[in-house]
């Protein structure tokens, strides 16, 4: 019995979804690993399937999917594969690094980078966060000083997804100290550029299959031709990439939630206590219904946001709501799935893995508190309402 409301995908999206679920079941199973060789092997396989450049126009080597289909593809990766970290890395590459090149790159930059980024040959990372600038992403200390037709980059980045394996970094740096929104610029910096060093890697509790490291720039010379967009447009590039990431990346969690919800329903229908299946106890069945309601609501919000992107919406509310809803639903679903399995839920398995993989989702792409700030700002909740009294 299918208990889910399915968004009405077009036939091509349905077919692509099924193909990606099968691919992930075949190739993205086994323990999550950030081992660089195994990671690269999986990446190249996924690249051959068209996953690394799914929403990049066909002319540049991508599959030309829209945001709804790209989110469905991510959902399929989460549903079919057990390595959520790998899917996360692929989504960070695609939405936070490749899509900005599509949207802001010059023809020369697109032709230089996109075919290899789409085929699985090259991996990209977007480096914004710094030790003293996390949520306050406009206060970056990494500087880019112009000197003729080149820039000199100095500074440190931390928590950068894909850094240990990346071939290309999108780097946000301050071209005007204290310049705020218009003080940042995005640079395309190949990993082998002199002065760029990848530092220590992190061993995270969740998303273990996604490699992460610090990156340092020491008198790193970057030609002006490698500015993405224009000088001062870094914050626009960043917020545009977040629109994609806060929507489509979170499809991964919908896929994982569905898998865990299915297996939790199976569990409560076969585990017997007090002479009956535990699913017959109201405390258990209501928890399952709450899980289903949270999953379905989050899914509706995510696809609504994806449709907004496809319709050209500039609002940041849809992506922020999608990110909030999916990440909070995933954490709660992980907790509920563990509780409903009893002690079995604490053993190594998909319920505890979902919880560990979901906790970072409240933090990356801008924390959930920052999403609420963004939504409140767009609603202008801090502006006094003009009274219309006569
Ligand atoms: C799995 C993962 C992958 C990541 N990948 C990348 C990457 O590829 N590239 C990259 O650049 N960064 C990446 N990051 C870093 C991420 O962007 C930051 O962790 C995030 O922006 C929060 O910054 P912070 O960790 O410094 O927390 P802080 O900013 O120090 O926040 C600490 C707490 O204070 C709260 N807080 C801060 N300011 C406010 C405020 N104004 N109002 C209300 N609450 C506030 C936060 O919500 C949080 O709860 C990644 C992080 C994770 C977990």
HEC string for 35-89: CHHHHHHHHHHHHHCCCCCCCCCHHHCCCCCCHHHHHHHHHHHHHHCCCHHHHHH
Whether residues 109 and 214 share a domain: the answer is no
Whether residues 374 and 256 share a domain: the answer is yes
Q: What is the chain's alpha carbon radius of gyration, rounded to the nearest angstrom?
A: 22
Whether residues 211 and 254 share a domain: the answer is no
Percentage, residues of the chain above pLDDT 70: 98
Q: Per-residue confidence at 387, pLDDT binned at 50, 70, 90?
A: low
Residues marked active site are found at 245
Domain boundary pick from 92, 122, 152: 122
Domain boundary pick from 177, 198, 232: 232
Look-up of token digits 């340092």? 216
Domain boundary pick from 89, 122, 155: 122
On whether residue 389 sits in a domain, the answer given is no
pLDDT tens across 239-292, in order?
A: 999 999 999 999 999 999 999 999 999 999 999 999 999 999 999 999 999 999
| Domain harbouring 310, CATH code | 1.20.140.10
Lowest mean pLDDT of 30-34, 175-179, 371-375, name the range.
Answer: 30-34
Helices (H), the chain: 11-27, 36-48, 67-80, 84-91, 99-104, 107-119, 234-244, 251-270, 282-310, 317-341, 350-358, 368-378
* Residue from 130, 165, 367, 376 whose mutation best tests the ligand 1 pocket (most atoms within 8 A of CB): 367
On whether residue 383 sits in a domain, the answer given is no
Report residue 383 CA to chain centroid gap.
32
* Residue from 242, 364, 372 whose mutation best tests the ligand 1 pocket (most atoms within 8 A of CB): 364
d(CA 73, CA 67): 10
Number of domains in the chain: 3
Give the pLDDT mean for 200-206.
Answer: 91
Whether residues 172 and 255 share a domain: the answer is no
Cα 372 to middle of ligand 1, angstroms: 14
Residue nearest to atom 40 of ligand 1 (CA): 370
* Beta partners for residue 195, in sequence order: none
Pairing of strands 150-161, 143-147: antiparallel
Whether residues 293 and 339 share a domain: the answer is yes
Range of the domain at 216: 125-232
Cα 320 to middle of ligand 1, angstroms: 15
Look-up of token digits 């399929």? 76
Q: Per-residue confidence at 202, pLDDT binned at 50, 70, 90?
A: very high
Give the pLDDT mean for 296-305.
Answer: 97
Instruction: Kindly list the protein residues whose Cβ atom lies closer than 6 A to any atom of ligand 1.
Output: 92, 125-129, 134-135, 159-161, 207, 360, 363-364, 366-367, 369-370, 373
| Domain harbouring 145, CATH code | 2.40.110.10
Whether residues 184 and 276 share a domain: the answer is no
Percentage, residues of the chain above pLDDT 90: 88
Give the pLDDT mean for 307-319.
Answer: 94
* Beta partners for residue 126, in sequence order: 170
| Domain harbouring 102, CATH code | 1.10.540.10
Cα 47 to middle of ligand 1, angstroms: 29
Residue nearest to atom 32 of ligand 1 (CA): 135
On whether residue 137 sits in a domain, the answer given is yes
d(CA 124, CA 202): 18
Cα 104 to middle of ligand 1, angstroms: 25
pLDDT averaged over every residue in the chain: 95
Residue 223, number of CB atoms within 10 A of its CB: 13
Whether residues 192 and 103 share a domain: the answer is no
Whether residues 254 and 374 share a domain: the answer is yes
Whether residues 198 and 271 share a domain: the answer is no
Instruction: Write down the pLDDT at residue 314.
Output: 87
On whether residue 90 sits in a domain, the answer given is yes
Whether residues 154 and 227 share a domain: the answer is yes
Cβ atoms of 203 and 240 closer than 8 Å: no
Give the pLDDT mean for 64-74.
Answer: 97
Whether residues 259 and 197 share a domain: the answer is no
Give the pLDDT mean for 348-375.
Answer: 96
Whether residues 260 and 371 share a domain: the answer is yes
pLDDT tens across 116-128, in order?
A: 999 999 999 999 9
Residue 19, number of CB atoms within 10 A of its CB: 15
d(CA 223, CA 208): 35
């Amino acid at each position: 019995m299918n208990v889910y409301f399915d968004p009405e995908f077009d036939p091509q999206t349905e077919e692509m979804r099924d193909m990606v679920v099968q691919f992930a079941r075949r190739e993205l199973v086994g323990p999550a690993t950030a081992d660089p060789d195994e990671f690269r092997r999986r990446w190249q396989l996924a690249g051959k399937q068209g996953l690394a450049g799914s929403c990049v126009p066909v002319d540049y080597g991508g599959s030309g999917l829209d945001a709804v289909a790209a989110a469905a593809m991510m959902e399929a990766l989460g549903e079919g594969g057990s390595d959520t970290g790998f899917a996360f890395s692929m989504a960070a590459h695609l939405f936070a690094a490749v899509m900005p090149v599509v949207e802001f790159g010059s023809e020369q930059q697109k032709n230089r980078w996109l075919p290899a980024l789409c085929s699985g040959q090259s991996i990209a990372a977007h480096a914004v966060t710094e030790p003293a600038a996390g949520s306050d992403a406009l206060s970056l200390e990494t500087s880019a000083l112009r000197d003729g037709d080149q820039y000199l980059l100095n500074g440190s980045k931390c928590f950068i997804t894909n850094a240990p394996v990346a071939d290309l970094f999108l780097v946000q740096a301050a071209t005007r100290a204290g310049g705020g929104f218009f003080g940042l610029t995005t640079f395309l910096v190949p990993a082998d550029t002199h002065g760029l060093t990848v530092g220590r890697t992190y061993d995270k509790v969740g998303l273990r299959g996604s490699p992460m490291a610090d990156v340092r720039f020491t008198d790193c010379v970057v030609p002006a031709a490698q500015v993405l967009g224009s000088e001062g447009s870094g914050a626009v590039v960043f917020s545009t990439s977040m629109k994609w990431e806060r929507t489509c990346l979170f499809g991964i969690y919908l896929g994982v939630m569905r898998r865990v919800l299915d297996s939790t329903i199976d569990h409560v229908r076969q585990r017997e206590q007090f002479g009956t299946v535990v699913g017959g106890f109201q405390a258990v069945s209501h928890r399952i219904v709450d899980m289903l309601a949270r999953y379905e609501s989050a899914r509706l919000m995510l696809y609504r946001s994806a449709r907004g992107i496809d319709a050209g919406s500039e609002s940041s509310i849809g992506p922020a709501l999608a990110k909030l809803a999916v990440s909070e639903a995933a954490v709660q679903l992980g907790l509920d799935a563990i509780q409903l399995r009893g002690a079995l839920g604490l053993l190594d398995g998909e319920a505890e893995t979902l919880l560990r993989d979901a906790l970072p989702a409240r933090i990356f792409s801008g924390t959930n508190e920052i999403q609420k700030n963004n939504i409140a700002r767009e609603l202008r909740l801090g502006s006094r309402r003009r009274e219309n009294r006569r």
